Amino acid sequence: MPTTLRVPYSYLDRQFADIDDYLADVRGLVRSGDFTLGAPLSEFESRFAQMCGIPHAIGVGSGTDALILTLKALGIGEGDEVITSPNTFIATVGAIAMVGARPVFVDSNEGFTIDVRRIESAITPRTKAIMPVHYSGNVAEMDDIARIAEAKGLAVIEDACQSISAERDGKHVGSWGVAAGFSLHPLKNLNVWGDGGMIVTKSEELRDRLRLLRNHGMINRDEIAFFGHNSRLDTLQAVIGNRLISQTPFITDTRIANARFYDSALESIPEVRIPKREANVKHVYHMYMIRVERRDALLEHLQRSGIEAKVHYPIPVHLQPAAKYLGYKEGDFPVAEDDSRTLISLPAHQHLTREELDYTVERVREFYKR
């Protein structure tokens, strides 16, 4: 009987095992009293923009707000339609609904991103934007999406919440759309100590509008351009972000190495299907997802063995109670629905040890040998 390890999905206790340097930074912030829109936020925004290779970054309250504020800044709302895919974290679709627009779904492809062949038939006179999700840390087929959007006069807003540092053809996510939204949630690849989000854009005009929109529409203390939100990225979180942003290459490279390790260790198992990896894409593996037979039994086996495997997600968005009013039904999006029954996410984070990776592979092999 092999020894039981615990292979956690969350890495936060390991990532923050030593917090003295962070606390020294926080102490400095408290002394300065610079709690909202302070200098550390401007610093974090410019470092974030630089890392993405995109001119402007605007820090906001969450990844969800990054999408909501961008939609609002583009004037998308009541009576408009926004195209996205149903296999995503609920916030993509929630953001579209929260501005009053109607989410319109297009099925996904083998790489968990929107199937570009199906986008055009989903476009109506009410369509205003396409919101492709770089799901799991993969990158959607952006050249094709940008071409379709351009031909139809639609905005492209990239949901890059899971995909910091991901690239296609050497271009960072956020390079194609009018803007891209990122999440800094504690369990996203670049994280902070609570909720946070970032929008990147090449447009100065959009940047200026978003800066107002996140801060009550305030030009200055006395002048208000339009009614807005209170959704600034806390300076406290920017302080943490300024320390963590330099870890992003390590986080990204380690996740990629772990994914490669799993790919080659698992590919010989007939019951496991590893998605095709595109050579021109830098997939950053926010989630390491594979399609497997007898998924729920494997999940239980792994969990019993101490491995915190997960399912993202057992119910696709179009079949959620929240989406009932949209009128979709089972069978509408076969790829997303099949994925909801076959996908499993293995822990692949940057703090796993080689022993934990080996152990995880061994437990998967053992399951299919029986």
Q: Is 162 in the site for ligand PLP (CB under 6 A)?
A: yes
Question: Smaller CB distance to ligand PLP: residue 111 or 357?
Answer: 111
Instruction: Please report whether residue 185 would count as binding ligand PLP according to CB under 6 A.
Output: yes
Residue nearest to ligand PLP (CB): 63
65, amino acid identity: D
CB of 139 to ligand PLP, least distance (A): 13
The residue (of 62 and 258) whose beta carbon lies closer to ligand PLP is 62
Residue 340 within binding range of ligand PLP, rule CB under 6 A: no
User: Rounded CA gap, 160 and 174, in Å?
Assistant: 7
Total residues contacting ligand PLP (rule CB under 6 A)? 15
- Closest distance of CB 162 from ligand PLP, Å: 4
Question: Which one of 33-41, 156-164, 224-232, 248-256 is the stretch in contact with ligand PLP (CB under 6 A)?
Answer: 156-164
CA distances from 285 to 1, 103, 114, 179 (A): 32, 26, 17, 22
Q: Which stretch binds ligand PLP (CB under 6 A): 58-66, 68-76, 214-222, 257-265?
A: 58-66
195 binds ligand PLP (CB under 6 A): yes
Does 132 interact with ligand PLP (rule: CB under 6 A)?
Answer: no
Binders of ligand PLP among residues 248 to 277 (CB under 6 A) are: none
Of positions 38, 86, 197, 316, contacts ligand PLP by CB under 6 A: 197
Which single residue is written with the structure tokens 């109506």?
124
DSSP per residue over 116-134, as a string?
A: GGGTGGG--TTEEEE--B-
Do the Cβ atoms of 89 and 256 come closer than 8 Å? no
Contact 181, 70 (CB under 8 A): yes
Distance between CA atoms of residues 162 and 188, nearest Å: 6
Tell me: does residue 84 bind ligand PLP (CB under 6 A): no
For residue 162, which phi and psi values (nearest 5 degrees)? Answer: -105, 10
> Does 92 engage in binding with ligand PLP (CB under 6 A)?
yes
Burial 156-191 (b: 16+ CB within 10 A, else e): bbbbbbbbbbbbbeebbbbbbbbbbbbbbbbebbbb
Q: Does 88 bind ligand PLP (CB under 6 A)?
A: yes
Nearer to ligand PLP, 44 or 367 (CB): 44
Helix (H) or strand (E) holding 156: strand 155-159
- Residues 64-83 touching ligand PLP, rule: CB under 6 A, are 64
Sheet holding 179-183, edge to edge: 56-60, 197-201, 179-183, 155-159, 127-130, 81-84, 102-105
Residues 164-183 within binding reach of ligand PLP (CB under 6 A): 183
d(CA 109, CA 333): 10
| Among residues 91, 106, 131, 245, the one that binds ligand PLP under rule CB under 6 A | 91
| 89, 261, 285, 328: which one binds ligand PLP (CB under 6 A) | 89
- Of 186, 202, 182, which is closest to residue 194 (Cα–Cα)? 186
- Per rule CB under 6 A, is residue 240 in the interface with ligand PLP? no
Nearer of residues 64 and 235 to ligand PLP, judged by Cβ: 64
63 interacts with ligand PLP by CB under 6 A:
yes
Contact residue for ligand PLP among 40, 49, 59, 62 (CB under 6 A): 62
Q: Which residue intervals of the chain are DSSP H helices?
A: 12-15, 20-32, 39-52, 63-73, 90-98, 142-152, 204-213, 235-244, 248-266, 295-304, 334-342, 354-369
Q: Does 345 bind ligand PLP (CB under 6 A)?
A: no
Binding of ligand PLP at residue 161 (CB under 6 A)?
Answer: yes
Interaction between residue 234 and ligand PLP (CB under 6 A): no
| Smallest separation, CB 136 to ligand PLP (Å) | 9
**Which residues bind to ligand PLP, rule: CB under 6 A?**
62-64, 88-89, 91-92, 133, 159, 161-162, 183, 185, 195, 197
